[in-house]
Amino acid sequence: MPDTVTSSNEAPLYAADIGGSFMRLAACAPDGSLTPLAKQPTPARDWPQFADALAAMLAAHAHLDTVRQRAPLALSIAGLIDPLDGVAFSANLPCITGRALASELAARLDRAVYAANDADCLALAEAVSGAGAGHRVVFSAVLGTGVGGGLVADGRLIRGAGGVTGEWGHGPIVNTQCTIDGETLAVPRFACGCGQTGCVDTIGGARGIERLHAHLHGATKSSHAILEAWQQGDAAATRTLDVWRELVADPLAAVVNVTGASVVTVGGGLASAGALIEKLDLAVRARVLIRREQPLVVPGRYRDEGGLTGAAWLARQS
Ligand SMILES: [Zn+2]
């Protein structure tokens, strides 16, 4: 048995999904399948506790052979990683902000450590083994609580300056009006948590749908209730989601034109609303330069396991 481990395709590998509330550990097989091993609260504010918690999770599940004791660890992080110096920034994980995350953990855990943004990991998972498999350029649009994304070309994650590639959710790019059934509706540039106004993030995710509904109808409803009402033919909910489709389709069509993506895989909670994604797909296909007969915007394959799966692919490619 060798006493060192490389990240070859056959070597044992662990992946961890690190969120602001919970961290999960899984063992990753060469075919991409996962075996969940542990889940526990994330010590998000204390670096020594954070590193100790990861070490303890690994120690509890590594078998007593040298290979697994030093098997690489791939991290999917709720935060940004600067590809130049590996320094992390995360609002949800304050203890990793400003740290060269992978190299500091590699020294602490005595193994190779790889780390990437969770939306980037999801993009890689969709491109390699998900709904984007077989496409050269895959854009992964995350429509969850807010809006994020990631870009993969020729099976490789494009990390780009500052690690923000694919972050189409921020920037003053949302239209301020749209026409539905001959009626022109004004929509303000809502203020965004990033400090700008008019970001896709303010209207594109679950909170955005709720914000649009409140603006259009003066009613506070959960995104779940709005989607349910829409599926039952409710006129107000239909109007809200028509406006949502128009405003989100514009910037997403621009993303498709700029990246050359031949598929947009949708992740996050709204990906479960298949009929909504079909609506968005038709609107985006009507706007992109290359006309397509086949669906372009499709629900992704991964819901909860995309981060772990993509982190594992990243480590195996490294
Ligand atoms: Zn923003």
pLDDT digits (tens, 9 = 90+) for 237-296: 999 999 999 999 999 999 999 999 999 999 999 999 999 999 999 999 999 998 889 999
Confidence band for 2, pLDDT divided at 50, 70 and 90? very low
The answer to whether 210 and 220 have CB atoms below 8 angstroms apart is: yes
Same domain, 269 and 164: yes
pLDDT at residue 3 is higher than 70: no
Rounded to the nearest whole angstrom, what is the distance from the C-alpha of residue 248 to the centroid of ligand 1? 14
Kindly give the distance from the C-alpha atom of residue 189 to the centroid of ligand 1, in angstroms, as a whole number: 11
Tell whether 152 is covered by a domain.
Answer: yes
Distance in Å, CA 34 to ligand 1 centroid? 34
- pLDDT reported for residue 1: 35
Of residues 314 and 67, more confidently modeled: 314
The overall average pLDDT reported for the chain is 93
pLDDT of residue 60: 87
**CA–centroid distance, residue 197 to ligand 1 (Å):** 7
Kindly give the distance from the C-alpha atom of residue 138 to the centroid of ligand 1, in angstroms, as a whole number: 23
Residue 118 pLDDT > 80: yes
Q: Could you give the CA distance from residue 64 to residue 26 in angstroms, rounded to a whole number?
A: 17
If asked whether residues 112 and 140 sit together in one domain, one would say: no
**CA of 167 relative to ligand 1 center, distance in Å:** 10
DSSP calls for the chain: --S-----TTS--EEEEE-SSEEEEEEE-TTS-EEEEEEEE--TT-HHHHHHHHHHHHHHHS-SSHHHHT--EEEEESSEE-TTT-BEE-SS-GGGBTSBHHHHHHHHHTS-EEEEEHHHHHHHHHHHHSTTTT-SEEEEEEESSSEEEEEEETTEE---GGG-TT-TT-SS---SEEEETTEEEE----B-TTS-BS-THHHHSHHHHHHHHHHHHS----HHHHHHHHHTT-HHHHHHHHHHHHHHHHHHHHHHHHHT-SEEEEESGGGG-HHHHHHHHHHHHTTSSS--SS-SEEE-S-SSSHHHHHHHHHHHH-
Asked if the model's pLDDT at residue 122 lies above 90, the reply is yes
pLDDT, position 101: 97
Judgement on whether residues 190 and 58 belong to the same structural domain of the protein: no
Position 64 scores a pLDDT of 53
Report how far ligand 1's centroid is from the alpha carbon of 150 (Å).
16
Does any domain span residue 207?
yes
Q: What is the pLDDT of residue 172?
A: 84
**For residue 29, how far is its CA from the centre of ligand 1 (angstroms)?**
37
CA of 284 to the centre of ligand 1 (A): 21
In a domain, 129, yes or no: no
Whether pLDDT at 230 is above 60: yes
43 touches 102 (CB < 8 A)? no
**Lowest mean pLDDT segment, chosen from 58-62, 124-128, 220-224, 291-295:** 58-62
Residue 161, domain CATH: 3.30.420.40
Do 75 and 218 reside in the same domain of the chain? no
Q: Each residue of 48-86: b (16+ CB within 10 Å) or e? A: eebbebbeebbeeebeeeeebbbbbbbbbbbbbbebeeb
How many C-beta atoms lie closer than 10 Å to residue 194's C-beta? 14
Domain membership of residue 100 as a residue range: 3-122+305-317
- Going from the Cα of 90 to the center of ligand 1, the distance in angstroms, rounded, reads 15
In angstroms, what is the span from residue 170 Cα to ligand 1's centroid?
Answer: 4
Give domain status of residue 43, yes or no: yes
- What pLDDT shows up at residue 31? 87
Q: Which two tokens stand for residue 87?
A: 């320094």
- For ligand 1, the distance from its centroid to the CA atom of residue 211, given in whole angstroms, is 15
Answer yes or no: do 37 and 161 share one domain: no
**What φ, ψ does residue 226 adopt, rounded to 5°?**
-65, -45
**Confidence class for position 5, pLDDT limits 50, 70, 90:** very low
- 271 C-alpha vs ligand 1 centroid, how far in Å? 21
Model pLDDT, residue 10? 66
Q: Using the mean position of ligand 1's atoms as its centre, give its distance from the Cα of residue 200 in Å.
A: 7
Distance 193 CA to ligand 1 centre (A): 6
Most confident of 59-73, 163-177, 200-214: 200-214
Whether 173 and 191 share a structural domain: yes
- Whether 103 and 144 map to the same domain: the answer is no
* 143 and 204 part of one domain: yes
Indicate if 183 and 258 belong to the same structural domain: yes
CA of 309 to the centre of ligand 1 (A): 28
* Alpha carbon of 107 to ligand 1 centroid (Å): 35
Tally of structural domains, the chain: 2
Report whether pLDDT(6) > 50. no
Tell me whether residue 193 is in a domain: yes
Q: Packing angle between helix 274-285 and helix 223-231, nearest 10 degrees?
A: 80
pLDDT in tens, 67-112: 667 899 999 999 999 999 999 999 899 999 999 999 999 999 999 9
The per-residue pLDDT for range 14-58, each reduced to its tens digit, is 999 999 999 999 999 888 899 999 999 999 999 999 999 999 999
> What is the distance in A from the centroid of ligand 1 to the CA of 195?
6
CA of 98 to the centre of ligand 1 (A): 21
Contact 276, 282 (CB under 8 A): no
